[in-house]
Amino acid sequence: MNKKTVRDIDVGGRRVLLRVDFNVPLDPSTGAISDDTRIRRVLPTIEYLIEEKARVIICSHLGRPDGKVLEGLRLAPVGERLSQLLGVPVLCTRDSIGPEVEVAVGGLKDGEVLLLENLRFHPEEERNDPEFALALARLADVYVDDAFGTSHRAHASVVGVTEHLPAVAGFLLEREVEMLTSTLDNPARPFTAIIGGAKISDKIGLLENIMDKVDSLLIAGGMGSTFLKSLKYEMGKSRVEENKLGLAQRLMDKAQEKGVHLLLPADIVVADRFESNARSKTVPVASVPEGWYVMDIGPETIDLFEAKLRKSKTVIWNGPVGVFEFDKFKNGTTAIATILASLDATTIVGGGSTAEAVEALGLVDKITHVSTGGGASLKLLEGKELPGVKVLLDRE
């Protein structure tokens, strides 16, 4: 990554505005943090700033409050968890800008940490409002972006503040960008991509960009039904993007032209209802019963995919291969995650649902890189520049 990082600037004694992605999942019944992965992943940057005697001002969003103050989306519980992980006090403010915040920032000593309130309590954040960005920037001398998960958003705390402060990357953002871009640009071969998820329309850019780089492409999940339908297989009541059948065929033709081995499911698990306790069975792709739903890949498909993956030296996986939210239909996604964890290869898992699946299985430490950003990782895999990365200072 040809951008400056926090290592490249002097932060000692300076006020550092650190944008992170603390958009952690909360237990709906208790409001407690149910997974602190996103907090843990940014600890190296915070610990570095503390060691360097910076005055650390952390800002983040949480959930979708739509510009309103919602008590259930305050960041105080996140600050409490962060304090436990760091082993130092973390002061939390009740707003992200304004006189009280300025007083709190003014009282910070070298090496101390302050967490601002949820940025999205202000509608100006998502609008990239210049005045809101300036109010944030006034709090600090330096800006560090370690929020890869929001780096594809042109928001005030991601893009706007960089017009007023020298802006560099944190360690997590640096690793995310380098892992994803270097893997695409210079992969060890054979290079295989597994693309799942619900819809082709969400991943047109990814499919077209990655087709020029991979040796094999394994397609499953909801989008697999559209590919199979384009080959004239009936998919029952499964969601099929009828207006993307031609695109699916063009992508398969492109794969053939480029010598990319494109694999689709050979057998699938179907259910009579789209419910967790539905009646189910495994059938060949040519035998989906009328009125049934495709819910997962079958054992023959898992074996086909595994044979290809075992020969790979680089694997990127983006999108679950079944309805893994339902225990009964998570076997395919579990199998792919387990196979990847056992490979002697560079393995990268895109963010979002795929990362959640790997984390739920406790396999994160056995994957080379699990991205913290769903939309951001997707944009990078599409070959696009991220607004939050573009605005950072270039390395000379």
Catalytic residues: 38, 199, 352, 375
Cis peptide before 166 (omega within 30 of 0): no
Does residue 257 sit within a domain? yes
pLDDT tens-digit map of 21-58? 999 988 888 888 988 989 999 999 999 999 999 999 99
Residue 263: strand pairing partners? 218
280 and 253 in one domain? yes
pLDDT tens-digit map of 261-283? 999 999 999 999 999 999 999 99
200 and 114 in one domain? no
115 and 217 in one domain? no
Residues 295, 360, 181, 306, CA torsion sign? negative
Split into its structural domains, the chain has a count of 2
Q: Where is pLDDT greater, at 359 or 133?
A: 133
Per-residue tokens: 209 = 């960009």
81 and 217 in one domain? no
User: Up-side HSE of residue 205: CA atoms within 13 Å toward CB?
Assistant: 12
Boundary (domain end) residue, out of 157, 173, 189? 173
169 and 188 in one domain? no
Does residue 263 sit within a domain? yes
Does residue 57 sit within a domain? yes
Boundary (domain end) residue, out of 173, 205, 223? 173
Does residue 393 sit within a domain? no
Of the chain, the percentage scoring pLDDT greater than 90 comes to 87
192 and 341 in one domain? yes
Distance of CA 10 to the CA centre of its chain: 30
344 and 309 in one domain? yes
Which pLDDT score is estimated for 352? 76
pLDDT, mean over the chain: 95
pLDDT tens-digit map of 170-219? 999 999 999 999 999 999 999 999 999 888 888 999 999 999 999 999 99
205 and 309 in one domain? yes
Q: Minimal CA–CA distance to 317: which of 205, 206, 201, 222?
A: 206
331 and 377 in one domain? yes
Per-residue tokens: 39 = 């907090």
217 and 139 in one domain? no
Q: Which domain holds residue 228?
A: 180-381
Which pLDDT score is estimated for 140? 98
CATH of the domain at 142: 3.40.50.1260
How many CB atoms are located within 10 Å of the residue 16 CB? 25
Which pLDDT score is estimated for 290? 96
How many CB atoms are located within 10 Å of the residue 177 CB? 22
363 and 216 in one domain? yes
Boundary (domain end) residue, out of 173, 198, 215? 173
Does residue 155 sit within a domain? yes
Q: Does pLDDT of 226 surpass 80?
A: yes
Q: Does pLDDT of 220 surpass 80?
A: yes
Confidence of residue 107 (pLDDT cuts 50, 70, 90): very high
Per-residue tokens: 260 = 């990319």
Which pLDDT score is estimated for 75? 97
Does residue 42 sit within a domain? yes
Q: Average pLDDT in the 229-251 region?
A: 95
Which pLDDT score is estimated for 31? 84
Of the chain, the percentage scoring pLDDT greater than 70 comes to 100
- What is the rounded CA–CA span in Å between residue 284 and residue 194? 20
pTM of the model: 0.90
155 and 298 in one domain? no
Does residue 392 sit within a domain? no
Does residue 395 sit within a domain? no
